[in-house]
Amino acid sequence: MQRGNDRFIERLPLALGQRWMGFFWAALFCLAALGLRLAMRPLLLSAAPFAAFFPAVILSAFLFGVWPGLWAAMLGLLFGSYFFLLPYTGYEVTPHLVMILCLYVIVMVVAIALIHFMQRVNFHLAVERKRSRELADTKDLLFRELQHRVSNNLQVVAAMLALQRRDIDDDAARRALDDASARLALIGKISRAMYHPSGEGQDVGAFLTTLCGDIIEASGRQDIAVHVAAPRQLLLASHVSVPLALIVAEAVSNAIEHGLPDRAGTVRVSLDASEEGFALRVVDDGKGITAGEEIGASNSLGLRIAAALAAQLGGRFVLEPGAGGGAVARLDLPPSANVTSD
């Protein structure tokens, strides 16, 4: 509703290309004012002869501009003088009559001038708003094109790594290239989906749900159920999207590959926010891990990357046995990590 009002005001004055319409409507407004003033004659007599014409003049100037407004003011002067003012002075020019006419002229000229000034200001504001919208659209287009190109470049690099693995016979090297290719593809996908030119954050629940769904789909496993729990209306800051996504991806992939390699199971991803910070948990009901196992000593490059990304965010990533079996990947971030967007 407010936007519609703004659009209407931006169009004022109306009918600039058909000036006759402004004069026509101004005459109609004055005729309507004349009829209203005639109906009020028994009550007002000779008092306020121009009272009904003030709204007609102001409305004409506001809707159609200066010249229709002046036309309405002239008609109001003629109608008011002829029907309501001159009959009570015997059609004689008296100082009282001159004073009333001068006062009417002054009031109308000032009102029309103020309306004209406001319309000029409104016109320039409308031009600036249009220019701002065009710049915003251009910025959004350029930003999306940049993100598209960056994402495409990452996808190309991932594809090149996937092609390069064909010429490598060593299984460890092939797995390393596969992991690097998958991570680059994931970063490209996140970059395209998450970043926004306005800097707005992403809803954490929707982000984690989509991410985990993509990971399960990429794994080809139909027997793994993923449940995501996150506070509602909690927005994830854009600069945290990629590192947090990679940490979650590594934790969920590790749960599928090592915790549930040969049987069905469930992976639960939860995020808790409090005054003490943010706690991300990825819990599976798989075969679990050995107590006291250190990530730094693990052969999993993905877990070491996750620990490094957590340190980059100012937090800590650990992998520990679950209370009822399985494993728990835990990411703890302090309040100063600025995970959420304002």
Per-residue pLDDT tens over the stretch 69-86: 899 999 998 988 888 877
| Region of 65 on the Ramachandran plot (φ > 0 left; ψ -120 to 50 alpha; else beta) | left
Please provide the average confidence, as pLDDT, over all residues in the chain: 79
Per-residue pLDDT for 289 more than 90?
A: no
Per-residue pLDDT for 297 more than 50?
A: no
Rg over CA atoms, the chain = 37
- pLDDT tens digit sequence for 140-182: 777 667 666 766 776 777 777 777 777 777 777 777 777 777 7
Mean pLDDT of 51-76: 88
Predicted pLDDT at 98: 84
Model confidence at 28, pLDDT cuts 50, 70, 90, reads very high
- Which amino acid, one-letter code, is at 194? M
Predicted pLDDT at 295: 56
Which residues does residue 284 pair with via DSSP β-bridges, in sequence order? 267, 327
Please tell me the distance from the alpha carbon of residue 267 to that of residue 88, in angstroms, as a whole number. 94
| Crossing angle between the packed helical segments 95-164 and 2-10, to the nearest 10 degrees | 120
Per-residue pLDDT for 106 more than 80?
A: yes
Global pTM value: 0.53
For residues 2 and 246, which has the higher predicted lDDT (pLDDT)? Answer: 246
Dmax (CA) for the chain in angstroms is 117
Residue 191 CA from chain centroid, whole number: 18
Per-residue pLDDT for 105 more than 70?
A: yes
pLDDT above 70 covers a percentage of the chain that reads: 80
Note if the bond before 13 is cis, omega within 30 degrees: yes
Mean pLDDT of 310-325: 85
Please tell me the distance from the alpha carbon of residue 286 to that of residue 257, in angstroms, as a whole number. 10
Mean pLDDT of 89-112: 83
First-to-final CA distance of the chain: 27
Model confidence at 2, pLDDT cuts 50, 70, 90, reads very low
Per-residue pLDDT for 56 more than 50?
A: yes
Secondary structure, 3-state, the chain: CHHHHHHHHHCCCCCCCCHHHHHHHHHHHHHHHHHHHHHCHHHHCCCCCCCCHHHHHHHHHHHHCHHHHHHHHHHHHHHHHHHHHHHHHCCCCCHHHHHHHHHHHHHHHHHHHHHHHHHHHHHHHHHHHHHHHHHHHHHHHHHHHHHHHHHHHHHHHHHHHHHHHHHCCCHHHHHHHHHHHHHHHHHHHHHHHHCCCCCCCEEHHHHHHHHHHHHHHHHCCCCEEEEEECCCCCEECHHHHHHHHHHHHHHHHHHHHHHCCCCCEEEEEEEEEECCEEEEEEEECCCCCCCCCCCCCCCCHHHHHHHHHHHHCCCEEEEEECECECEEEEEEECHHHCCECC
Predicted pLDDT at 194: 57
Predicted pLDDT at 142: 73
Token reading at 129: 């708003």
Model confidence at 198, pLDDT cuts 50, 70, 90, reads low
Edge-to-edge strand list for the sheet holding 265-274? 224-229, 265-274, 277-284, 327-333, 316-321
